[in-house]
Chain A
C-alpha cells in the first residue's frame, strides 16, 4: 500500500539513469514530486516501485548562461527561477509563469522539469518555455540529445520521454537580443482546481513600430501545449496596432482547439478570453521589447 518501495537519491545523471534501468518494478523520475506524489496517492498514476530523485544532482540544479544560451536545470526549484536575475533579463515570460505556479512552499520544491514532465497542456512553465523558443536537453545511457518543446509530449498528461531510459536534464533558452520581449498571462477562476482556464506566453521581436517575429503559446488549446503559428505569421513583418488584433484572434481560433471543461470553463469563454489575453500579453511583451530597445541606445 505504500506509494513507493525504493527511493533513490541520485548523485549524478549517470547514477539516476542506472537506477532507473536497474529498478525491478515500475520506476519514475521524481524531483519536487508536487504533482507525481499526489497522483500516486490519489490513484491517478499507476503504482511505482522505485522513485529516482534527481533534485540533488548538481548538473540539474544549475542555472547559468552558457555561450549564447541560458541554461536552466530541470531540477532547479521554481523559487530560484522566479528570483533569478538572469531569467528576469532574458526570459520575463518564464519568470512571470514560474511565479504563478503553486504557492511559495510548492515553489521551493517544484521544478520546471516536473512542470514539463507532467505533460499537462496548460502547465504555466511549459507554455512560457514554448513561447520563448526553449529546447530541452535529454539524457539517456546512450548519450545526450536536444529536442524542441513540443516533441516532449505525446498527449495530455503523457510525456514522450521513455520513463525508464530518459531524463530531462534542463532547458536551453536563447538569450534576449535587442528589441525582443516576452510576457505571460493567464486567467483563473476562484472555484476548483488551481489550473489556468487559459494561459498564454508571447515573445516578440520588434523593430521600431513593427513586429519582426512573434511566438504565441497557449494552453489548454489542444492535447499538448499549443503554438499559434498562423497568428504568428500574420503578425510577422506588420506594424503593431490594435486594429490588427481581431484578425490575429481569428487566426488563433482557426487553429486552436478550445474545449469545454465541466465545472471550469466553456469553450466559448476560452475563445472569448483568448482575445483578452492576447491583447494583454502581446502589449506587455511589446512594451518590454521597446524598453530594452531604449536602454541599449
Chain B
C-alpha cells in the first residue's frame, strides 16, 4: 500500500493485526507517537489522518492506504519554522512535564487550530477531552494553546507564562526557566525506554498467576519452550541468585516456584523471551500451571482476625504503628464535646501514562574477561535500588550491573518498586541477548503497587471554643501481598492522622496488614492523602457541631512556630500554615462574598447548588524517622565553558532537572543554558537516594549546591595560585572568572586545573539533618510543607452529580526555586486530588481486579478541570537550599477533603467513603436524610 507520512511517500505492506501506531513506531521508527493504554482511552497515540486526529493504537494500518499522515515528527516542518508555535508555547508556558502525553496533546491541538484558528477555552476543552495528562498540567496546556493560536493567527511572539517569580536576591533561582528537556519532548525526539531498540533484542512477557491465593503444584513449560521463536522460558528454579526482592523487606518473590505461595493475581510464575512480542505472548498460553487454591484475605480488617489465613511466615501484621502524646483518656474527660466517625478510602492507581518498560542488555567487559555486565535501561525512581535488586537476583556483585535511567512518563511513587527489571535481567543473562520487557496497560494496572486502601476511625475531643484536647485515631491499612514501602507509607498516614494541629493528647494506632490484594506502596501523598481526608472531614464536622466557622476552627488549632506535634517534635521554624489559611480564606471570601459555606443556587438552574469547602494539610520533606537521608551530586566544568551536574536522583516529570540546573547556574554564576544535567546512571552519577518523600529538591538540591560551591572554590584556588591573589578576590560573573580586572572564560580554567593535577570537578555527599525514630520524640522530620485549599463545588440535587468549579490553593514550599515547575506541580496536584475524590477507584473483589483496564479506571480529564488559583507561600527552612522544602506531595493532599467538605456544605451529605458516589448523594437528598443545611 501507499501513503504519505509527514509528506514523504511510503510504500509498505500492512501486516495482519497491525495498527497504525505499530507501523509508525516499529517499522518506520517514528517513536514520537506514544502508547499509553492501547485501548483508545488516553489519546497519547493521536496522529492526524487526512488532517483529522485519530487514535493510531486502534486504527488498522491497512486503512492508511492512500491517506496522508502527520505525526509529531512532521509538525515543525508544516510550520516552516524550527518549531511550530504550539511546540514553542508548550515549552515556554511549562506545559511539558513528563512529556509522555505531549505529542498527543500537540497533535490534537494542531488539528483544532486547523479547523478553528481562534478557539476559546471551552472549544479547547472539548477538543482535548480524551487526551489525558497525568501530570495534569491541563490549565497550562490550555493557556499554551490559546497563546499559540494568537501567534499562529497574527504572527509575532508568544505572550508567555503569567507566573510570578519567587523574589529574593538570587539571579536565576526563583526565575522562570523552561525545562532542559522540553524541546525534545515537543518534537517527538525524546526517547523513553520503549522507544529504544537494540540489534538482536528479544521480547519478554510474564506469566501471571491470575489467582489471588494459591500454592503452585506444578509448572510445565515444555510446550512453550518448543514454540519456534522462543529463546528462553524461566521459572523460579532458574534464578541464579536471591529469589526475593523488595525495597525494605525482601518478601516479594521474583518468580513463585513449585510448592510456593501465590499471594496476588499479579505474581509471576514464569517468564518468556522470544523473537517477537507476539510469540512471547503465544508462549504464555502454552505454559501449564496447577494451583491449589487457598481462601482469600481481601481486606485489612479481615487480615487481622485470628481466623484469617496467614500469608507470610511472620503472619499478616506487617507492623503495628503507634503514636502517643499525653493521655487521650484524660483528654476526652476534659473535653466538652466528643465526636467519633469512621472513614474509608479505596485503593487507587498511579496511572502514569507511560507503562513500565525495561531493557536488559548483557555486555562482555571491555577487558575481554569472561564476566558479563548487565545494563538496565529503565525509567525508575530509585536506580541504585534497582541495581542492587537486579544484582541480588543474578547473584552478582552490584558493580556488574549498570542502571541507565531513561526519561520517565510519570511515576508518582509507582516506579519505586521492581517491575520488569529483574525478569528482563534474568532472561538477558540466560540468552546473552538484549531483552525488552514492556507492560501493557492491563499488566501495569494488575501488577504494580497501589495506594493503600484504609479504614480510619477518628475520635476527637474539644472544648466549646474549638480548641482540640484529644485526638485518637485507629487505622487499618491494606498493604496487599507484599510489603513494598507499606510500613513507611502507613507510618506517615499515622503520624499525620491528627492533622496539622496541636493538641495536648494524641494517640494513633495503625495496623499495616498483608492481604491477597495487589501490593500497596508509595503514591504521591504517601499515606497522608488518606488520613488527611479523615481528619479534615472530622474538623468540619466539629465546626458544624460547635457552630464555628470551619476556617476559624482551623486557625485556633493550627500548628505554628513553637508547636509540638503529636510525635513530640517542636517546630522551630518554617511553619507557613497560618499564612496559607489567611491567603486562601481571604481569596475565598473575596470570590464568594458573605458566607462561602452557605449553599447558593447555581445561576440559571434551580436544581444545582453551590458551596465552598476548606481543608488544610502538612507533609514531611524527606525520609525522616531516623533513616539516614543523604544524596550525592557531582559538578564538572568542561573546556567549552559548560558545566554538568550529575546525580542518580530521578526525573519523572516533576522538574528536578530544572531545579538542579538553576542551582548550579546560580552558584557558578553562569547562564542556566550552560549547565547540563545528567541523572539516573549508576555508573556515571553518584547515588541521590530514592526519589520519594518530596525530598529531592532539598537533599539533592543541597548536594548540587555544595558540589558547585566546592568546584567554585577549587577554581578560585587555582586562579589565586596562578595570579598570586587571595581566593576571595576572584569573582565569578556570567560565565567568566574575574581576576584583577581580567576576565577569564571559565572553560580556560579547565586546562589550568588539569595542568596542576586538579580535576575540574567536585563531588559532594549531602547528609540531611538527623532525625529520630517514631516514639523517641524530638525531630522525626527535618522539615514540613504546609498547604490549604478551598474548593467550590456545584452539586446537581437530583442526580447527585458533582462538579468542581474553582480551587484556591496556598502552599508553603519554603522557597520556589523553579516557579514554572511549581505551577505544574500545584495544578497537577489539585487534579490528582480531584481524581482521588471524584473519579478514581481501583476495585478489587476477593483478590480479583475489576479495574484492569484504563476504560474502567478513570483519571481526570481537561473537561473536569476547575479554575485553579495558586498562592505560593515561602517560609524558608534554614537547612534547605535557598530555604526550599518539599513540593511534590503537599500540593495534592488537601484537595479531596476540600471537595468533600464543599459537598457537605452544598447539600448536607457527609462523604465518609471515597470516591464520592453521586448515587449516594442523590439518594440521601431524595429521602430527605440530608439537605437541611445551614439551618442549625
Interface residues of A (CB under 8 A from B): 1-7, 9, 30, 33-34, 37-38, 41-42, 51, 53, 55, 79, 102-106, 108-109, 187, 189-194, 263, 265-266, 268-269, 272-273, 276
Contact = CB atoms under 8 A, between A and B. Distances in A.
A53 B62 contact: yes
B183 interface: no
Q: Considering residues A2, A263, A269, which has the most beta carbons from chain B within 10 angstroms of its beta carbon?
A: A269
8 contacts: A1-B282, A2-B16, A7-B60, A105-B55, A109-B54, A190-B864, A191-B838, A272-B923
A80 to B, nearest CB: 10
A102 B65 contact: no
A3 B855 CA distance: 20
B850 interface: yes
Interface in B820-857: 838-841, 843, 850-851, 853, 855-857
A105 B132 CA distance: 12
A1 B281 contact: yes
B157 interface: no
A234 to B, nearest CB: 22
A104 B850 contact: no
A191 B127 contact: no
Given A5-B16, A104-B108, A105-B46, 16 more contacts: A6-B16, A7-B16, A9-B65, A37-B58, A38-B40, A41-B38, A106-B55, A108-B53, A109-B59, A187-B801, A190-B918, A191-B841, A191-B858, A191-B915, A193-B856, A263-B843
A187 B919 CA distance: 11
A9 B55 CA distance: 19
Interface of B: 14-18, 38-40, 43, 46, 49, 52-55, 58-60, 62-63, 65, 108, 126-127, 129-131, 278-279, 281-282, 442, 798-799, 801-802, 838-841, 843, 850-851, 853, 855-858, 864, 915, 918-919, 922-923, 926
Contacts of B841: 191-192, 263
Contact of A108 (B54, B802, B839): B54
Nearest to B47: A105
Contacts of A5: 16-17
A2 B278 contact: yes
Contacts of B108: 104-105
A5 B40 CA distance: 21
A265 B856 contact: no
A273 B799 CA distance: 7
A104 B62 contact: no
B13 to A, nearest CB: 11
B482 to A, nearest CB: 26
B130 A269 contact: no
Contacts of A269: 919, 922-923
Contacts of A105: 40, 43, 46, 53-55, 108, 130-131
A55 B858 CA distance: 30
A42 B130 contact: no
B39 A38 contact: yes
Nearest to B840: A191
B346 to A, nearest CB: 10
Contacts of B801: 187
B160 to A, nearest CB: 28
B63 to A, nearest CB: 6
B17 A4 contact: yes
A292 B18 CA distance: 49
* Closest CB pairs A-B (n = 3): A103-B130, A2-B17, A7-B62
Contacts of A273: 798-799, 922
A190 B796 CA distance: 14
Contacts of B59: 33, 109
A2 B277 CA distance: 11
A139 B14 CA distance: 29
A101 B734 CA distance: 56
Contacts of A4: 16-17, 60
Q: Considering residues B46, B55, B126, B851, which has the most beta carbons from chain A within 10 angstroms of its beta carbon?
A: B55
Contacts of B127: 104
B34 to A, nearest CB: 14
Nearest to A192: B856
Given A55-B63, A191-B841, A272 B926 contact: yes
Nearest to A109: B54
B8 to A, nearest CB: 22
A283 to B, nearest CB: 12
A51 to B, nearest CB: 7
A38 B55 CA distance: 12
A84 to B, nearest CB: 15
A259 B282 CA distance: 38
Contacts of B49: 108
Given A2-B17, A263-B843, A104 B278 contact: no
Contacts of B926: 272
Nearest to B851: A192
Contacts of A7: 14, 16, 60, 62
A143 to B, nearest CB: 29
B849 to A, nearest CB: 12
A108 B279 CA distance: 33
B799 A276 contact: yes
A3 B38 CA distance: 14
B284 to A, nearest CB: 10
Contact of B855 (A37, A103, A193): A193
Nearest to B111: A104
A51 B856 contact: no
A277 B17 CA distance: 42
Q: Considering residues B39, B53, B282, B926, which has the most beta carbons from chain A within 10 angstroms of its beta carbon?
A: B53
A38 B799 contact: no
B17 A38 contact: no
A23 B63 CA distance: 19
B281 A42 contact: no
Contacts of A38: 39-40, 58, 855
A9 B130 contact: no
A9 B63 contact: yes
Contacts of B129: 103-104
A273 B921 CA distance: 13
B66 to A, nearest CB: 9
Contacts of A108: 49, 52-54
A33 B838 contact: no
Contacts of A265: 919
B814 to A, nearest CB: 35
Contacts of A3: 17
Contacts of A193: 855-856
B278 A34 contact: no
